[in-house]
Structure 1
């Protein structure tokens, strides 16, 4: 059985992977800054901070791959984002290199290219969405992808960056009818990224097979991803509650949605206590 280290294992996506990856044949080593609740049979646990390079090197010992999810989720202040998300990603990929772990899956985000306009003619390919971050959080995801590219090119590692949309149990807004990534498809996407033969460096969108998708899934499917879920089953209730989306509204006109709004200006983030 192949083994995988999952950082941020106590979080929402980490919890989904803890349940789903063992069913795909992976032995999971969980890492977080807090103990992961409800430890499962066969699961290993490591309590460590991803910004501690020595601890991360120890955590990599004996694993075949790493899935990096840890960090501040959502927008925060520059000191918080730069430390946890940027320094943390460096420590993960560098520790993987030192330990000889050749496969790294990085949880990037649509916010790496959030100010990109929503496509009007066909779904958006990754190549047509270069770095255009909408927040400090988005800047960290751009840096994550850049570090992945560097380590793939310089050290020959296989690094797959998943530009995740909205990874929730079910869509909760009309926008998520396009951006939703279901729990089951989350597991399928990560499993494909872990198993794809010789991907080198790859950036792919992370969404389900939504009828209203904005993003082209061809690159993800080329890795072996076969999404099964479609947010459209939630459309009637959400449209009844919110109405049809206005294409001129920035929430629906830009890849990053609400993260491109003035509410996410730095002074507003600080006024909100550093967390939006």
Structure 2
């Protein structure tokens, strides 16, 4: 392996698939991917369940010689505390600890707007405010950011946590017009997070260049992120949003 090798956990998921395939994905940008997932992404992969107590050694082996890890593997919705702790919290610890043991330089972690879901919408949201999770899922993402901070400060790992909005093919509701991250911009964002200058634990928002966006992209742009898409092109096709005026949207009210 070499200095272009990146391990991707959760490689069979939606964002993992975007990173592998949309516009050539990360490989078209010079990265060689090592895929990790319990599901089959249709390519060679390591079938590792990051929630298993014995996964640490397997993860460490998978990361041997890699320069970075993109950690996407997670339960992506509200669930029981035991399930979220097992995969989203304990699993993140194992990924970061494996990265430390394997000598990986950088970790890009998929966080979420739900780590700050109880802040109101309507104004640009900076990343330097305390977390305000809206669900147990949001708590698990706040814990992910905290673990990333620990491994950056204590162990010198370069950690970038991405507070990703709605990363889907197209926005579905009027709420999504503010927080959409297009598949193409997801590739651009992760590529920037892998390459950009990092000093200490870094948290940035991840959305496209949306006309109605209310998240501050200063941190992401400082990494070299240059979004090219805008959810506004779908404004005439989305459904009405009647949920709370909170960053977590409907999940903040459930």
TM range (shorter): over 0.9
Q: 2:71 aligns with which of 32, 54, 68?
A: 68
- Between the aligned partners of 2:162 and 2:225, the Cα distance in structure 1 is 12
2:96 to 85, 93, 96: 93
Asked whether 1:30 is paired with 2:35, we answer yes
Q: Rg: which structure is higher?
A: 1
Instruction: Give the deviation of 1:77 after TM superposition.
Output: 0.5
Q: Is the 8 A contact 1:90 1:147 kept in 2?
A: yes
Whole-angstrom CA distance in 2 between matches of 1:35 and 1:213: 35
| Inter-partner Cα distance in structure 2 for 1:176 and 1:197 | 29
**Aligned-partner Cα distance in 2 for 1:60–1:157:** 14
Flag the structure with higher helix content.
Answer: 1
1:256 is aligned, of 228, 243, 248, to 248
Q: Name the SS for the 2:46 alignment partner.
A: strand
Aligned length: 246
Per-residue deviation at 1:118? 1.4
Task: Give 1:200 deviation, angstroms.
Answer: 2.7
Asked if the contact 1:160–1:199 (Cα under 8 Å) also holds between the matched residues in 2, the reply is no
Q: How big is the alpha-carbon RMSD for the aligned residues of Structure 1 and Structure 2? A: 1.3
TM-score by length of 2: 0.94
Unaligned stretches of 5+ residues in structure 2: none
- Residue 34 of structure 1 and its aligned partner are, at CA, apart by 2.2
Q: Secondary structure at the match of 2:49?
A: coil
Counterpart position of 2:114:
111
Provide the secondary structure at the position in 2 that maps to 1:236.
Answer: coil
Paired position in structure 2 for 1:138: 138
CA distance in 2: counterparts of 1:221 and 1:166, whole angstroms = 19
- Could you tell me how far 1:199 is from its partner in structure 2? 3.7
| 2: CA distance, partners of 1:6 / 1:146 | 20
SS in 1 for 2:177: helix
Structure 1 residue 119: Cα displacement = 3.6
CA distance in structure 1 between the aligned counterparts of 2:126 and 2:195, rounded to whole angstroms: 22
Secondary structure of 1:181 counterpart: coil
Cα deviation digits, residues 130-158 of structure 1 (max 9, x gap): 21111111001000000000010011110
In 1: Cα distance, 2:206 partner to 2:17 partner: 17
Structure 1 residue ranges (4+ consecutive) displaced by more than 3 angstroms after TM superposition: none
TM-score normalised according to structure 1 size: 0.86
Q: Structure 1: any 5+ residue segments left out of the alignment?
A: 264-276
